[in-house]
Amino acid sequence: MDKVVELIDVSMNYHTPEGETQAVKNLSLSVDKGEFISIVGPSGCGKSTVLSLISGILKPSSGAIQINGMPVDGPSQNVGYMLQRDHLFDWRTVRSNAVIGLEIQKKLNNTSIKYVERLLDEYGLSEFKDHYPKQLSGGMRQRAALIRTLAANPDILLLDEPFSALDYQTRLALSEEIWLIIKKEEKTAILVTHDIAEAVSMSDRVLVLTKRPAEIRSEHPIVLTCALHTPISCREAPEFRHYFNTIWKELDIHV
């Protein structure tokens, strides 16, 4: 299998006048083409930092990061990054929010516009293209944010808790939907989440991080036996509980 994302011994420290924060320490990981992996870890352990490093908007203090075998030097058009909140711009319509990445990358042309229109139509926003984000529900906003990320046609998607602002039902339904979209568009995905069930049901592999500074604590390849291989139906798989409990114990959450 080709490795599309590879981190080798990556460390990251933040520097502010108040002091130094070690966010990531000697972290190595690799992701294969078409793989869906999840990263779980205690709050504030450095998960978002890992995604920012992969996306190239942060430079590691040490270590190497490669995308498709090439060292990362700044944001790459191969990588789409969906941030923790949707950050749709209120002053743009859904359509114009969806193409903002294309505008910035100067890739706005007939083909790319058609692709965005297709995504909007296909993923339930066809009637809302000319609406403003304020007029959308949380689930629709999140879908619009995903389409904005997909519009630039990246091979690799980084998803930072994309469902955390949603209520439980919407969250389940949308995670199913987004999973299907990602599989259909044949993307490689790295999902950061707090929700163990979400991680187990959606991924091929779950990485558990330690407390800050983030290191890999353990790795769990997920093999679930379920008829329809989609996140919701996989929650019924007999192995599901086992994975859930193991990861839960490893996270070692004390309330």
Partner 1 sequence: MYSKGPDTVVIMSPEHAEYLRKEKFTQHAIRVSRILLLLLLFALWEAAAAFKWIDPFIMSQPSRILRTILTLSKDGSIFLHTGVTVYETVLGFISGTVLGTLIAIVLWWSDFTARVLDPYLVVLNALPKTALGPVILVWAGGTTGSIIIMALLISVVVTILNVYLSFRTCDEDKIKLLKTFGATRLQILRKVILPFSIPSIISVLKINVGLSLVGVIVGEFLVSRAGLGYLIIYGGQVFKMDLVMTSVLILSVVAAFMYLSVSWIERKLLKMR
Ligand X SMILES: Nc1ncnc2c1ncn2[C@@H]1O[C@H](COP(=O)(O)OP(=O)(O)OP(=O)(O)O)[C@@H](O)[C@H]1O
Contact footprint for ligand X (CB under 6 A): 14, 16, 21, 23, 43-49, 212
Asked if 112 is part of the footprint of partner 1 (rule: CB under 8 A), the reply reads no
Chain positions 32 to 61 lying near partner 1, rule: CB under 8 A, are 52, 55, 57
Q: Helix 138-151 vs helix 168-184: angle between axes, to the nearest 10 degrees?
A: 20
Is residue 140 within 8 A of residue 127, CB to CB? The reply is no
Is residue 157 within 8 A of residue 106, CB to CB? The reply is no
Asked if 174 is part of the footprint of partner 1 (rule: CB under 8 A), the reply reads yes
Contacts 24+ apart (CB under 8 A), 13-16: 13/61
Token output for 44: 């504030």
Report the sign of the C-alpha dihedral through residues 87, 231, 7, 157, in that order.
Answer: negative
Residue 38 or 48: which CB sits closer to Mg ion? 48
Cβ at position 2, least distance to ligand X in Å: 28
Residue 48 or 175: which CB sits closer to Mg ion? 48
Asked if 162 is part of the footprint of partner 1 (rule: CB under 8 A), the reply reads no
Pattern of binders to partner 1 over 85-104, x per CB under 8 A? x-x-x-x--------xx-xx
Report the sign of the C-alpha dihedral through residues 5, 154, 146, 106, in that order.
Answer: positive
Asked if 52 is part of the footprint of Mg ion (rule: CB under 5 A), the reply reads no
| Count of beta carbons in the 10 Å neighbourhood of residue 102 | 19
DSSP at 76: -
| Pairing label, strands 3-16, 19-32 | antiparallel
Residue 191 or 247: which CB sits closer to partner 1? 191
Chain positions 186 to 245 lying near partner 1, rule: CB under 8 A, are none
Give me the residues that bind partner 1 (CB under 8 A), please. Answer: 52, 55, 57, 74-77, 79-81, 83-85, 87, 89, 91, 100-101, 103-105, 124, 127-128, 131, 135-137, 139-140, 152, 169-170, 173-174
